[in-house]
Amino acid sequence: MNDYVLELKDLSVSFYTKKGEIEAVRGVNLTLEKGEILCIVGESGCGKTVMCQSIMHLLPSYGKIKQGSIKACNVDITNYNEKQMRTMRGKRMSMVFQDPLTTLNPTIPIGKQITEAILKHKKISKSDAKKRAIELMELVGIRNAEERYKLQPHFFSGGMRQRCVLATALASEPDILFADEVTTALDVTVKAMVLDLLKEIREKTGVAIVFVTHDFGAASRIADKIAVMYAGKIIEIGTKEEVFNTPLHPYTWGLLGALPSLALKTGRLQSIPGMPPSLLNPPKGDAFAVRNKYALAIDYEEVPPMFKVSPTHFAATWLLDKRAPKVERPIVLNREC
């Protein structure tokens, strides 16, 4: 038996709308090991959040898992109904969203909300649950937790609210924590603190984390492994060192070239031309081809397979085919990110 707490095989998710079928996630294969931090990186609309929602079975009514399988904690949950998923959500998997105010009840004290989450999943007394809630508040870096236990969310800053949501998500000691753009609305200093907090929580609890972001800088600070997503597909995956030091897909080159840290060294901020394609009618071949100045003729005809470069590093680009011409990655990426 492997150490995977999450395993996706050929996962495809579609939204069925009045305009037609939107193929939001297309044939994703992914694994997450116990205690690992996996960052899913890509532009808005590439399918990152939908993939996580499908795992948690939180898709809207017009969304459906079209094919593939989802195995969490060695259990196949692909076809679980809502009643069955209640045994997984919270107990085995938790999710933290971008805006803490959409998660927290503005009228109920923070501590009581965390306590209620504990009581829902653990058979302990109210007094023990309160003690555990205070411990969790301290774990996520809320000082004077006992005094702040009785305060409503509006007494906390944005960063502190996000910490409170993290405490609630950790109430049942889950195996997997999904963190969906949790640092997007935070300033640079608070963002760094939350990222460091997530790493600290992983070290103290052993929870595996799926961190969804469009910010490669955030991924560089927290990730063990990085998966780059585009147009519903994983187009490159590897360890943090592999993806940053030897990126293989032109889309990854573009994302790295847009890092502000590189702009400070080169004097200019790079951008990727064009827009992601509509997934109402996905393009033939490589979805990135029309934005890719390195595209080959075959990119417009056939979807590239995942080429294996190392046991942990894969990329879906025809540039890795042995018949492809040699292309040097942009010189700017040879600088330290």
Strands, sheet with 176-180, edge to edge from the N-terminal-most edge strand: 93-96, 176-180, 208-213, 37-41, 225-230, 233-239, 314-315, 307-308
Q: What is the pLDDT of residue 265?
A: 64
Asked if pLDDT for residue 332 goes beyond 60, the answer is no
Per-residue pLDDT reduced to its tens digit, 220-277: 999 999 999 999 999 999 999 999 999 999 999 999 988 877 666 666 677 888 999 9
For residue 39, what are its two tokens?
């960052």
Phi, psi dihedrals of residue 12, rounded to the nearest 5°: -130, 135
33 inside domain: yes
CATH code of the domain covering residue 28: 3.40.50.300
Q: Is the pLDDT of residue 118 over 70?
A: yes
* 211 falls within a domain: no
CA distance 290 to 277: 9
pLDDT digits (tens, 9 = 90+) for 126-142: 999 999 999 999 999 89
Q: What is the pLDDT of residue 267?
A: 66
Q: Helix or strand or coil: residue 205?
A: helix
Q: Which two tokens stand for residue 178?
A: 């999904």
End-to-end CA distance of the chain: give it in Å, rounded: 37
Residue 82 resides in a domain: yes
Instruction: Note the Cα 285 to chain centre separation in Å.
Output: 26
As a three-state string, the secondary structure of 78-111 is CCCCHHHHCCCECCCEEEECCCHHHCCCCCCCHH
The helix (H) or strand (E) run that includes residue 202 is helix 188-205
Report pLDDT for 93.
Answer: 94
Residue count of the chain:
337
- The answer to whether residue 9 sits within a structural domain is yes
Q: Average pLDDT, stretch 64-81? A: 95
Whole-angstrom CA distances from 4 to 33, 36, 102 are: 4, 10, 31
Q: Band of the pLDDT at 3, cuts 50, 70, 90?
A: confident
Q: Which two tokens stand for residue 262?
A: 């590189």
Q: Tell whether 57 is covered by a domain.
A: yes
CA–CA separation, 293 vs 245, rounded Å? 21
Check pLDDT > 90 for residue 1. Answer: no
Structural contact between residues 242 and 313, judged by C-beta atoms closer than 8 angstroms: yes
Number of domains, the chain: 1
Show the domain range for 65.
4-86+222-334
What average pLDDT is seen over the chain? 91
Q: Which tokens go with 320?
A: 């890795």
- Within-domain flag for 297: yes
Q: How much is the average pLDDT of 302-314?
A: 97
Residue 212 lies in a domain: no
Distance of alpha carbon 14 from alpha carbon 59, whole angstroms: 10
- pLDDT bucket at 333, cuts 50 / 70 / 90: low
For residue 159, the SS3 value is helix
Q: pTM of the prediction?
A: 0.91
List pLDDT tens digits, range 78-102: 999 999 998 898 789 999 887 777 7
Cα(183)–Cα(162) distance, integer angstroms:
9
